[in-house]
Structure 1
């Protein structure tokens, strides 16, 4: 049951402030029925996209070109070209979509205000669900709401999402914006999110444009004095190809996203927004992302940072010229509008470079139908009735329930059955209605739901009591502890809801500790001394749960990320057994001391004398391993008949497959998932492969090669899951980044080793086959 808290609509995310350009805070469509714009070829639908864009660009003066190469483009009044805002956000729901006001704009249609949109859980929660269809459905819902806002002049058509940098280090403040640490998993997320947003794989008429970010090697905010704007990530070609780039390859080569954001940092000394190797050689040439309607934006301030933070070039004019010449088409900021004209006059760049960039930008708007009449455009019919629908609210709930992950359940403390038990809720997140529940880049939700009011609903049949215990996650104030412990003595079970929030992890704010902050552990231990405790950890990043795992009276442990608008019903339904958890940790939980063993600035994945290794592929000292997730029921997972594949595969079979060779099917494995317990539940099958004799040393401990989610497996029934493995997942990258299928002995493992899932061994025989010849720096 939902107990709604109406939002106040004053909670803003990161919005551009450009009030003066946009009367009434609206993003108008151009009018191609009236001169002077109607007299320009941009309005001639019989022309090609390139010709239409070129016709408009040809009419612009140098100063007009420079002015319109920024995110809050002023347009050209004398030509009838209206202003346009390129910066819109859609990380997990609309945010920052109306100039100056974001989603707080008050345009109304009938009695429905365009002042809120569905706010889904943070991407790390979607990652824990391991459900590609869910990701696609959410992105589809977000782009539907985006188009509805756009049709009523409250949003643009370009969305700077998803964030697909893999979650390499547990300290990263923006890890919550990603689906996790595994490059294959992040790549699958990227593909499905982009296809959902755009309405297909590189569709001729996109629904909106998806902008994958941040390209590339970006995962540091402010670590021990090292800040993202001036940091140069030193990354080997092998790690670049194997870990940092697969998600972007999936986004651009495979899903054909319409735009990319280059990042604040440099890679190997070259600022990302002035890096021809990354933006031209890898992105456009190697991945074939070369449409005249594909464009690159700098992160906000990154173009300015080429000169002013990375100190490349001798002046601001040289810095912006380097960015433009090396592939950055749009500046989120004012560097281009301030200095690009003088850069042309100083011969640091050419007007033809400006024309190319503007041609790409306007080409993108052309394929979006921006300059065309609304008649005959299906997406132009969307309106208020397509925003905040019962279907999207249900989808937000489903996403949270699928992502909640059970990490400990001693004595089957969970679920807490509705038998009139007294349940005490404690903790800074238990009754917290702050915007923090939405995580980074949130918009305004139509409502909020939180645990305590939801639990008080009669449908759960609990006697609910509540004491905050700690006011916020960083608090060391113990003044409420005695009252909380006293209340616990009167309860049957205690549910502590705490963890971290954006005081601990956020954009521009990396973590300095991965232990439980404040006095939270002390409070949990005191509560557990008198009654059984269930701990719920809110927050994107993991916290060292060692002491909770060791405490025999901390019976239950759940992780749930940042939950979004369905915080209350999603969590309480899991706690009460209305729904069953089946999420899997999409990251490794490291011990607290890990941060003392390797600096964030060590970008290497493989272990060395100064690096214990990163992610589950290279690190074996986890507190809780990647992929962990318990259930309220029991499953018996076995190979289906013939499902374990062949005993031998030949590399020659992959010599002549179509490009891209890495996407060729290696095999599809099948498992039978039998629910031998008494609770209906989902089940996520994770398929890993490992080898100790194929390819270059050192060998990864194991590698995720496929996953699938079975839904609503009824007690006493069996579901069969297909686990399709592409040959690129069996292959490995050599020192030069080339993706190679190596002969050797390989072992398949379903689920984690300690769970006892089925295994199988196979041989790959023949000569090495290069599936992808990676371009060299």
Structure 2
């Protein structure tokens, strides 16, 4: 069979295979099932379900979703789930049946969730993307993406539903934690690194997976920060801001893309032909697969109400450019009915099936459909990947305030570790996380205890309160513990932990307890949007109780969205923003608290003083205004902000030449010196301002950054190249243009703290 000849071009193999297929088999390639429902796992044995085997024999399945996913939604637990070896063996059993019992022996496409690590039991849980963004280190993220790809492919997963490239506009949105931040240029840099890391040098390599870009597009611009709400956004902003990271990732070679749930100007992204065909495939030249989010096609008929039935929704979606529906069990049936009635042109089915088959060929699934259980055991959850997770966490934690209390002494003093996020492992992992054994997650308390292991009597603990509960019964123990300590480390924030059955905490003793009425502390994550950015529950009251003792208080925020608590900003002696730092987060936090790591994280979200300031992202127009009656509109902590245990100075900003043509280039240089007493990393940020333009422009735009490490007294010249790519914008005719005129170039430590110099662009 020609389609089995790996020496033939992918297009030719695809055409040949497609020509052998029946309409039912073609439609079957567009159907994805829930993978964890295809088998039963009992007493260590895997048995494929009869329903799954029937569908395979009938040619009705092309892909599986979340075959190895474990969480409360799937119902897969630590006890019922599959470890590294068993997971690989289960996928092999599934693939073997598909190859041996389907007429043409077409392998299945196994897709997995990997936002911050493969969502399978035993896999490494890295920090969430919001922390990854705060590292400003795309090389480190590329390395992390390679690790995630190795773990996923080792168990047979061939495609991942990441990266998330949404631009955050309203951080009340529960999925803020899944995003890199609020700036399209920054997200675009991470988008490229993600594709390069996940897909590697070759897609058919045993350590590569296909990247699926999501959510296309404007998902982070929803009305009121409510998940999947309408996006009220103009075409120019859509092209320049929200679509920019996707375009960069497509240019980098991404092979799959996922439209968003939301609508834009009345048109759901799932059926937006302008987005999917005219721009994505036409202008950008994307040749990969387009897969919807889970249930997105049903949403057309029940939610958006732009289709009068499931069949109508399926036909609309396929016509607009959709190739597959994530876990769309009914999708195939709808399409077959429409085909048989003549409502659907079979050429559209051929087109979609060809894209799916091409991806399978490119991934090398026809040559090597099976995982290697030995490799899975070696790679998944390895010590090397755990150390990498710790490094990422340490680089992304942001020091927001420090009156000199940090770093803490390793030699003297007692530490009271208090707070609802001090010793609850799941609270620091974020959403899209699999069940974890207790000893796989290092909490803040565990990290501090490990740091002072030779003197355990120096560390005491009290939970104080829960995240959302109004009970103050833990305050008494917290006060007692804090009163006997020299310094208080208070771990506050949020939680995206779903109900993993971990039980509860006895606030009066700090001990774990079993209860039939366990309270959920989840106040962030998918579908958990908020009206406020204040701390939930009685956490602020706990802080006030402890501050009244007159002891230094170091606040460690562990959370998935910004927190607006002006009283804490004023009263805390030091504040660390740790986001959700992953399984090694406690170690990374302790490394920073005790000075073994100099903090180098910088904010990728502007942190407001009050929710009433929203939207507060820095990329605003000059005309947006500066004040409210109650105060100004500036964030408490600006974009790019972050402190260090050393000091950096900037000098000698130059641009050469100072006058260029529209197609010319200029080099911007600045000297950065470590003027402090210890080694540290600085994030040098470059912003531009188009001073006069035919269309209004943002006051400032990030167009470059470098993370450099300097020893005390060391000085380094940092350079950036500016070209049309950085100076252009979407003009009056919706085409990219570089207008002659003056540009202000700012280079510095954050968006509000830069040295400035002018650049002139002439017509010729």
TM-score range, shorter chain: 0.7 to 0.9
* TM-score when normalising by structure 1: 0.81
Shift of 1:51: 2.9
Equivalent of 1:426, from 418, 423, 430? Answer: 418
Corresponding residue for residue 118 of structure 1: 124
Match of 2:745 in 1: 748
Tell me what 1:631 maps to. 644
| Partner-residue secondary structure (3-state), 1:678 | coil
Q: Which moved more, 1:751-760 or 1:134-143?
A: 751-760
Question: 603, 622, 626: which one pairs with 1:585?
Answer: 603
**Structure 2 matches for 1:666-745, cutoff 5 A?**
666-697=665-696, 699-711=697-709, 713-745=710-742
What are the equivalent positions in structure 2 for 1:431-580 lying under 5 Å apart? 431-433=423-425, 435-444=426-435, 447-457=440-450, 458-459=452-453, 463-470=458-465, 472-502=466-496, 503-529=522-548, 530-551=550-571, 554-580=572-598
- SS at the partner of 1:174? helix
Q: Is the Cα contact below 8 Å between 1:303 and 1:335 reproduced in 2?
A: no
Indicate how the Cα distance of structure 1 residues 726 and 183 shifts in structure 2: closer, same or farther if over 3 A, else same.
Answer: farther
State the alpha-carbon separation in 2 of the partners of residues 441 and 384 from structure 1.
22
Shift of the 201–669 alpha-carbon distance from structure 1 to 2, 3 Å rule, reads farther
Give the Cα separation in 2 of the matches to 1:45 and 1:752.
52
Alpha-carbon separation, structure 1, partners of 2:58 and 2:318: 26
Structure 2 CA distance for aligned equivalents of residues 636 and 752 of structure 1: 9
Q: Equivalent residue of 1:421, what SS?
A: coil
Would you say the 8 A contact 2:213–2:257 is kept in 1? yes
What is the correspondence of 1:201-600 to structure 2 with a 5 Å cutoff? Answer: 207-219=208-220, 228=228, 231-252=229-250, 254-290=251-287, 294-332=288-326, 333-373=328-368, 382-410=375-403, 412-433=404-425, 435-444=426-435, 447-457=440-450, 458-459=452-453, 463-470=458-465, 472-502=466-496, 503-529=522-548, 530-551=550-571, 554-594=572-612
Q: Which residue of 1 aligns with 2:45?
A: none
Match of 1:18 in 2: none
Q: Deviations over 1:186-228 (max 9, x none)?
A: 111111111110014989999211000011111378959x662
Whether the 8 Å CA contact 1:171–1:512 is kept in 2: the answer is: yes
Q: 1:295 to 1:473 in 2, by over 3 A?
A: same
Structure 2 counterpart of 1:130: 136
- How far does the alpha carbon of each residue in 1:299-339 deviate from its partner, in whole angstroms, 9 at most, with x for none? 01111222232222333222211100110000112231231
Shift of the alpha carbon at 1:725?
A: 3.8
Instruction: After superposing the two structures, state which structure 1 stretch, 348-357 or 125-134, moved more.
Output: 348-357
**Which residue does the alignment assign to 2:15?**
54
Deviations 1:327-372 (A, max 9, x none): 0000112231231111112333212211111111011011111001
The question of whether the paired residues in 2 share the 8 Å contact of 1:598 and 1:610 is answered with no
How far did residue 112 of structure 1 move?
Answer: 12
Name the SS for the 1:168 alignment partner: coil
2:214 and 2:751 mapped to 1: Cα distance?
A: 36
Q: CA deviation at 1:168?
A: 1.1
Instruction: Report the equivalent of 2:65.
Output: 87
Give the distance between the partners of 1:111 and 1:241, measured in 2 at CA: 41
Structure 2 segments unaligned to the other structure (5+ residues): 35-51, 91-119, 497-521
How far has the Cα of 1:134 moved from its partner? 0.9
Q: Evaluate the alpha carbon distance shift between residue 677 and residue 544 of structure 1 in structure 2; reply closer, same or farther with a 3 A threshold.
A: same
Say which is worse superposed, 511-520 or 440-449, in terms of deviation.
440-449
Deviations 1:22-56 (A, max 9, x none): xxxxxxxxxxxxxxxxxx44322243322322333
Contact in 1 for aligned 2:691/2:744 (Cα 8 Å): no
- CA distance in 1 between partners of 2:60 and 2:342 (Å): 30
1:706-755 per-position Cα deviation (integer Å, ceiling 9, x unaligned): 011113x2223234434344532222223554322122222222225798
Going from structure 1 to structure 2, the CA distance change for 1:324 and 1:361 (only over 3 Å counts) comes to same
Residues 632 and 431 of structure 1: CA distance in aligned 2, closer, same or farther (over 3 Å): same
Distance of 1:313 and 1:115 partners within structure 2? 39
Q: Is the alpha carbon distance of 1:560 and 1:51 closer, same or farther for their aligned partners in structure 2, counting shifts above 3 Å?
A: same
Aligned to 1:176: 177
CA distance in 1, matches of 2:406, 2:324: 52
Cα distance change on mapping 1:159 and 1:484 into 2, 3 Å: same
Render the CA deviation track for 1:118-172: whole Å, top value 9, x for unaligned: 111000001000001011111111111112111xxxxx31111011011111111
When structure 1 is superposed on structure 2, of 214-223 and 379-388 the one drifting more is 379-388
Q: Secondary structure at the match of 1:210?
A: strand
Counterpart-to-counterpart distance in 1, 2:669 and 2:243:
29
Against the structure 1 CA distance between its residues 240 and 482, is the aligned structure 2 distance closer, same or farther, given a 3 Å change threshold?
same
Contact 2:222 2:230 in 1 (8 A): no
1:78 Cα shift?
8.1
Q: May I ask how many residue pairs the two structures share in their alignment? A: 681
Residue 261 (structure 1) shift: 0.5
Q: Name the Cα RMSD after superposition.
A: 3.5
Distance 2:153 2:557 in 1: 35
Distance 1:257 1:755, change over 3 A: closer
Return the alpha-carbon distance in structure 2 between the equivalents of residues 609 and 759 of structure 1.
Answer: 22
How far apart in 2 are the matches of 1:638 and 1:165?
35
SS in 2 for 1:518: coil
CA contact (8 A) 2:203 2:364 kept: no
Cα distance change on mapping 1:439 and 1:107 into 2, 3 Å: closer
The whole-number CA distance in structure 2 between the counterparts of 1:577 and 1:337 is 57
- Offset from partner CA, 1:485-543 (integer Å, 9 cap, x none): 33323211111101112222211121111122222122212212221111111112111
DSSP 3-state at the match of 1:72: strand
How far 1:107 sits from its partner (Å)?
5.8
Residues 424 and 464, structure 1, Cα contact 8 Å, conserved in 2: yes
8 Å CA contact 1:734–1:740 kept in 2: the answer is yes
Q: Distance in 2 between matches of 1:266 and 1:344?
A: 27
Which position in structure 2 is the counterpart of 1:69?
30
Q: Bigger CA drift: 107-116 or 179-188?
A: 107-116
| 98, 108, 121: which one aligns with 2:85 | 108
Deviation at 1:450, TM superposition (A): 0.9
Instruction: State the 1:279 CA deviation.
Output: 0.2
Query: 1:441/1:109 Cα in 2 relative to 1: closer, same or farther (>3 Å)?
Result: closer
CA distance in 2, matches of 1:370, 1:102: 29
- How far residue 621 of structure 1 moved from its aligned partner, in angstroms, is 1.6
CA contact (8 A) 1:460 1:576 kept: no
Distance apart, 1:79 and its partner CA: 7.5
Describe the SS at the equivalent of 2:17.
helix
Return the alpha-carbon distance in structure 1 between the equivalents of residues 749 and 711 of structure 2.
Answer: 23
1:572–1:609 CA distance, 2 compared to 1 (3 A): closer
Q: Secondary structure at the match of 2:683?
A: strand
- Contact preservation (8 Å) 1:119, 1:445: no
Answer with 530-539 or 206-215: which moved more: 206-215
